Amino acid sequence: MWLYPRTAGTGGARHLAFAGTVRCGEGTSRVKPAPFEYRVADSVEAAVAALAEAGGEAKVLAGGQSLVPMLNFRLLRPAILVDINRVPGLSDIRDDIDAIRVGALTRHHQLETSPVIADHLPVLRAAMAHVAHLAIRNRGTIGGSLTHADPAAELPMMALLLDATLGIASPRGRRTVAARDFFLGALSVALEADELVTEVVFPKLPPDTGWGFEEISRRHGDFALAAVAATLRLADGKIAQARIAIAGADERAVRASEAEALLQGKSLDGELRDAACEFARACVTPNTDLHASSDYRRHLVGVLTGKALDAAWRRAREAA
């Protein structure tokens, strides 16, 4: 990977076993980012110690698919990069009775192709096909996507939809935070400078749950202009639990709580569906940008909510 400085006196990346440190972007080593010190962590403890020592001047390097462009444009100028790619035990997808535990370094493509995800979280698998392009999905990680918190990204909306919990490590120990409390705004999350996301825990979808995922982007692989995901669990033919999450239409992914409450205890028909779409439209405040106006994005949210609910209702009835 080009980030390794070939001019460094240590002889380059292959000799940096673990916990290495080199300087990048100084002297004859010309790279686009501002100069930084590059450290390779070999454990969670080493990573958080390096973050703490840097006192807010370090960034974690995971897949690099969002961080490296920001470094290259010098939108970020961290003094230190802490590479976590060689920390063992962070790349597993584990079936843990009622939940699926996903290590923070799990690549998008692993989620897309995992039979465990396909069996227990099919809506997540459907969403992954919309994340960027294969080359990016091969490198990008779930921890990186959630921490980067792009408002139009699929994984934050999935964490919100599925009531996921994030595991976080720091020199002070371990803590967990619910996804609904983690996303604060565009590119802003509830994470201290010395904290590392280590895993994401998704409760399994009960077997009698239907789901739908709908997204519109300008070209396949682009970020969503708007995306909506829904799950419906039925009991006695009525909706016992409805969840709707929306991305690309606000400063962060949001749950359409009023639409969810409206659906509770009812059967989905055209009138109820339209009313839920109206609530979904009303709960977002989209931006106007180069790609779409605010009005168009709001319109998309209504249309996509209807389609996602229809698909979820159909699948829930088939499963019942």
Ligand X SMILES: Cc1cc2nc3c(=O)[nH]c(=O)nc-3n(C[C@H](O)[C@H](O)[C@H](O)COP(=O)(O)OP(=O)(O)OC[C@H]3O[C@@H](n4cnc5c(N)ncnc54)[C@H](O)[C@@H]3O)c2cc1C
Stretch that binds ligand X, among 4-12, 57-65, 113-121, 306-314 (CB under 6 A): 57-65
Compute CA distances 206 → 75, 113, 121, whole Å.
Answer: 43, 20, 9
- Interface mask (CB under 6 A) for ligand X, residues 259-298, using x and -? ----------------------------------------
Compute CA distances 122 → 105, 119, 129, 202, 309, whole Å.
Answer: 20, 6, 11, 12, 15
Q: Which of 100, 123, 196, 245 binds ligand X (CB under 6 A)?
A: 196
CA–CA dist 48, 281 (Å, integer) = 41
CA–CA dist 287, 297 (Å, integer) = 8
Residue 72 vs 267, nearer CB to ligand X: 72
Does residue 145 bind ligand X (CB under 6 A)?
A: yes
Q: Which of 16, 54, 61, 311 binds ligand X (CB under 6 A)?
A: 61
- Interface mask (CB under 6 A) for ligand X, residues 88-117, using x and -? ----------------x-------------
Does residue 244 bind ligand X (CB under 6 A)?
A: no
In whole angstroms, how close is the CB of 170 to ligand X at the nearest point?
10
Closest C-alpha to 90, from 112, 107, 110, 105: 105
In whole angstroms, how close is the CB of 181 to ligand X at the nearest point?
16
CA–CA dist 55, 303 (Å, integer) = 46
Stretch that binds ligand X, among 55-63, 228-236, 261-269, 277-285 (CB under 6 A): 55-63
CA–CA dist 219, 208 (Å, integer) = 34
Q: Taking a C-beta distance cutoff of 8 angstroms, is the pair 276, 259 a contact?
A: yes
Does residue 225 bind ligand X (CB under 6 A)?
A: no
Q: Which of 66, 165, 231, 305 binds ligand X (CB under 6 A)?
A: 66
Stretch that binds ligand X, among 18-26, 146-154, 260-268, 270-278 (CB under 6 A): 146-154
Q: Which of 5, 20, 144, 306 binds ligand X (CB under 6 A)?
A: 144
CA–CA dist 248, 178 (Å, integer) = 21
Does residue 59 bind ligand X (CB under 6 A)?
A: yes
Residue 136 vs 282, nearer CB to ligand X: 136
Q: Taking a C-beta distance cutoff of 8 angstroms, is the pair 237, 265 a contact?
A: no
Q: Which of 3, 46, 102, 197 binds ligand X (CB under 6 A)?
A: 197
Does residue 141 bind ligand X (CB under 6 A)?
A: yes
Does residue 242 bind ligand X (CB under 6 A)?
A: no
Does residue 209 bind ligand X (CB under 6 A)?
A: no
In whole angstroms, how close is the CB of 105 to ligand X at the nearest point?
7
Tallying the residues shown for the chain, one arrives at 320
# residues contacting ligand X (CB under 6 A): 28
Does residue 51 bind ligand X (CB under 6 A)?
A: no
Does residue 5 bind ligand X (CB under 6 A)?
A: no
- Per CB under 6 A, residues contacting ligand X are 59-67, 69, 104, 131-132, 136, 139-141, 143-145, 147-148, 153-155, 196-197, 223
